[in-house]
Structure 1
């Protein structure tokens, strides 16, 4: 039998079968049409959008450490997609959260526990704080025992302090005024209950208030410092106070008191 005759016979057979089974014939026609209409509707209801390149944060294995492993599980639970490569894709980097607050705290805690020098440093800090607390109790309940002693300003500055150079270079005070101010003594009993609520400008322009907080080597030094400080603005005085606080060595203060 020729090929054309076989094809014609096959078509006649299928057509006869569909005529006899009309329900099957309708299903075979309607089912692809329904699928096609459904696909067209989904395409029109959800328009296409451009998806950028995705970089997913890696999840560290338990061998990388407990904290990176836990952070990789909980912080990446929703599998966020980033447009740019993440930090952990670089060589030698395990976790994307090495700079997180929790990771830094964990690293500092490990370093603190494992290094004996830090433990000794903490013990030293605790001893100094205890002595400072005892001193504050003394000046609160018996201020006369420390009255008039004071701490010289230059003795409580850091070894690499920039306070005096700031006064000379930026505030443009004379060397004599800076010398008198550096050699003045701070009356600690005036700070037994905290920093007084006074404006720096009022203290700088008042001889009585300045003598209340500072002890100068001479009356001439007091007048020269008051005249130089009173000429400055409140903002400049506040900046001088901030620079002074930044250059204080609290370990020296604890040792001297």
Structure 2
């Protein structure tokens, strides 16, 4: 049988089948048409827009370090797309989060742990705090061990203290009175159980109370300080106390109280 006859016979067969199965014939015709109509509708419903170029943040390998590797996994989980180059694309930069708070904290921790100078300083601070704790125990349990000795006010002030200038300029005290005050010593045994509940005015105007809490360089200095401080108002005395607390250097206090324990075992 010739090729032309075979083709005519095949077409006749298909046409006969379609006439006998009209529903199948309609489906075969309508299905491509519906697909085409759907594609046209999608094209009209979603107009074209210009998509910018995408720069994806790089993900560091474990060899780059633990922190960059973890940040690359969790911070880029949604795989964001940026229209501008990311930091990680620059030569020599592994992570996109070198300026993050966590990265700075990680670097600071490394510097603290690996810097021998810092470690020694923190070790010294720990020893000073331990000495201060021992001093407080001695102060509460055996205050007589350090009776008669105190901390010089000038020695426990910050290097950039403003207490002296405040006493001279704002409080109106003379240089000799200020000298007697800053060179006086605090009787620490009197503060073994906290700060006494007394008015500053009562302490300033009482020679006995002043001697009870402060050791002055001389008796004349004690009388001069009492007369000058008693003339001040309660508000001005409270302001002086606030300035004193603000200018205390607690690191110096930790160091000096340890020395008191060595002197008074």
Answer yes or no: same fold by TM over 0.5: yes
Q: Does 2:200 align with 1:203?
A: yes
Larger displacement relative to structure 2 (62-71 or 106-115): 106-115
Q: Which residue does the alignment assign to 2:38?
A: 34
- Of residues 243, 249, 252, the one that matches 1:249 is 252
Q: Which residue does the alignment assign to 1:181?
A: 181
Q: Which residue does the alignment assign to 1:60?
A: 60
Q: C-alpha separation between the residues in 1 aligned to 2:50 and 2:216? A: 74
Higher RCO (CA 8 Å, separation ≥ 6 residues): 2
CA RMSD of aligned residues (A): 4.4
Larger displacement relative to structure 2 (176-185 or 81-90): 81-90
Q: Cα offset for 1:100? A: 4.9
Cα 1:25–1:57 shift into 2, 3 Å:
closer
When normalised by structure 1's length, the TM-score is 0.65
Q: What is the SS of the residue equivalent to 1:154?
A: helix
Q: What is the SS of the residue equivalent to 2:231?
A: helix
Q: Which is higher, the Rg of structure 1 or of structure 2?
A: 2
Number of aligned residues: 232
Q: C-alpha separation between the residues in 1 aligned to 2:232 and 2:79? A: 63
Residues 27-72 of structure 1 deviation map (CA, whole Å, 9 limit, x = unaligned): 333322233335556x4xxx99999998765433434322222222
Q: C-alpha separation between the residues in 2 aligned to 1:212 and 1:30? A: 103
Cα 1:232–1:58 shift into 2, 3 Å:
farther
- Indicate if the aligned counterparts of 2:177 and 2:224 stay in contact, CA closer than 8 A: no
- Indicate if the aligned counterparts of 1:56 and 1:80 stay in contact, CA closer than 8 A: yes
Q: C-alpha separation between the residues in 2 aligned to 1:153 and 1:173? A: 19
Q: What is the SS of the residue equivalent to 2:247?
A: helix
Residues 211-251 of structure 1 deviation map (CA, whole Å, 9 limit, x = unaligned): 554333422113323434735275x4465145313586345
